[in-house]
A = this chain, B = another copy of it.
Amino acid sequence: MRFVIIGGDAAGMSAASRAKRNRPDMDIIVLEKTHDVSYSACGMPYNIADKDKLIDDLVVRKADVFREKYGINLLTGHFVEKIDSLNKKVFGATDQGKSFEFSYDKLLIATGGSPIVPKLPGFDLPCVMALKNLHHGRQIKDYLKEKKVKKVVIMGIGYIGLEMCEAFHAQSIEVTMIDMSADFLPWMTKDLSDKVRKEIESNNIIIKTGCRVNEIKLTNKCLKIICDDVTLEADMVFVAIGIKPNSELAKEAGLTTGVKGSISVNKNLASSDENIYAAGDCADAYHFVTGEKTWIPLALRANRAGWAVADNICGKNIALPGVAGTSAFKIFDLEVSRTGLSEKEALNFGFIPVSVTIKAKSRAHAYPGASEILVHITADKKTGRLLGVKMVGKEGVAHRINAVAIALQAQMTIEQFCQADLVYAPPFGPVWDPLLTAANQLQKQLDD
């Protein structure tokens, strides 16, 4: 059997390695358009933050390891242009201009996602950059080194924008963050987002919300970022307004796409063509809370989906039940985490969201060094089901969210969650964990 994989990042290489482990005799071809495979994409901001690190430090396994040690036919610089699902073939060209074609028995599309870059004047300038793959990371790192960048404007205040904000700041670069949205981190509530904003601004980062860019112009002195009300100056613009699934190939092959244009897959990761699977940032998933399709491109799902595809083409029947949308980021001295639905998402899916925000301490009264944790928790008024949690604080915020992720997977009610036997020891929190305090308060609201 020949298993062809388009894309050699998290999902693709996980699938290739796992399939080879399952069936050492399998003919596996990975077609990767870049020359980078198996690297920590999420680690790029932290690598860029540190001048002394090479971007290649992020590489976990080199291409040759997959070829020589694992026996995977990994073809880098191979860009797939077309899938012929009827004849089970893929066609493309190498970066040397040579065309290729391969037939497959089973195909995995693991083409990932791409940064969204506005189609506006100036966004094609070399000093306007985005970050998704190692090539981007290398470009940014080289640019910072060569150009002695002093001032950056970051477009988009999301995870990647914020992580890069800290990376630039670590290199003593002046940072202005702008976003079209009138609210700062609109998926949070104001109490929580204010805390994050204050932390960022206390590090001398300038934040401008409600700021729409119309054009970027390169003068002989600097870049001018021309917005509706203001013109900003910088040496570099970092674009982080979101990513989109790379699903063009799939669409052209007639596969069904869904949420935000991602490739629709069933719980076994099969697309609308039974011989074609999709995994990673290009594919959708079921949401634990809504039971409906969602598109939340994150690394754990990509790795897990890659494994599941490999197992399924090897005759197992692995179904991935879903995702909860659990994520976290660190911004200066704060941890921010979330899982489940926001109030707005809850409303969209027919729930009647009821929420509370509480303030708690990160350590017990009796233990020194406590800081404030804010917890925002949401449940459904009708059923009492826990729908989502967001947290901000200096410590214990990222790992704490996992308890909620499991509760969402188990479809717990707030009443049940209130009974959770969470850990208590003075160095790690109050007797009533901040999550329990939040749940108890919310239960009162539901009872009223």
Does A301 lie at the interface of the complex (its beta carbon under 8 Å from any beta carbon of B)?
yes
A368 to B321, CA, bound (A): 33
Does A270 lie at the interface of the complex (its beta carbon under 8 Å from any beta carbon of B)?
no
A329 to B432, CA, bound (A): 16
Q: Chain B contacts of A428 at CB under 8 A?
A: 328, 330, 335, 398-399
A330 to B400, CA, bound (A): 17
Structural contact, A43 and B330, CB atoms closer than 8 A: no
- Interface segment out of the listed A171-179, A198-206, A416-424: A416-424
Q: Nearest Cβ distance between residue A101 and chain B, in whole angstroms?
A: 33
The oligomer's copy count stands at 2
Structural contact, A43 and B402, CB atoms closer than 8 A: no
Interface hits, A316-358 → B, CB 8 Å: 320-330, 335, 337, 339
A43 to B370, CA, bound (A): 13
Q: Chain B contacts of A335 at CB under 8 A?
A: 428
Structural contact, B405 and A402, CB atoms closer than 8 A: no
Q: Chain B contacts of A303 at CB under 8 A?
A: 431-432
Interface hits, A36-50 → B, CB 8 Å: 40, 42-44, 46-47, 50
Q: Chain B contacts of A25 at CB under 8 A?
A: none
- Interface segment out of the listed A208-216, A220-228, A407-415: A407-415
A426 to B45, CA, bound (A): 10
- Number of A residues whose C-beta is below 8 Å from B? 69
A440 to B325, CA, bound (A): 20
A410 to B417, CA, bound (A): 10
Q: Chain B contacts of A42 at CB under 8 A?
A: 364, 366, 424-426, 431
Among B46, B58, B304, B423, contact of A399 (Cβ-Cβ < 8 Å): B423
A328 to B421, CA, bound (A): 12
A15 to B41, CA, bound (A): 52
Structural contact, B43 and A323, CB atoms closer than 8 A: no
Q: Nearest Cβ distance between residue A53 and chain B, in whole angstroms?
A: 9
Does A65 lie at the interface of the complex (its beta carbon under 8 Å from any beta carbon of B)?
no
A403 to B409, CA, bound (A): 11
Q: Chain B contacts of A259 at CB under 8 A?
A: none
Q: Chain B contacts of A326 at CB under 8 A?
A: 421-423
Residue of A304, A416, A419 most packed against chain B (CB within 10 A)? A419
**What are 24 A-B contacts defined by CB distance under 8 Å?**
A42-B366, A42-B426, A43-B367, A46-B427, A58-B366, A288-B421, A301-B421, A320-B419, A323-B421, A326-B422, A327-B423, A330-B428, A335-B428, A337-B423, A339-B421, A339-B423, A402-B402, A402-B420, A402-B433, A406-B420, A407-B410, A408-B421, A409-B416, A410-B412
Interface residues of A (CB under 8 A from B): 10, 40, 42-44, 46-47, 50, 57-58, 60, 288, 298-301, 303-304, 320-330, 335, 337, 339, 364-368, 396, 398-403, 405-410, 412, 416-417, 419-429, 431-433, 435-436
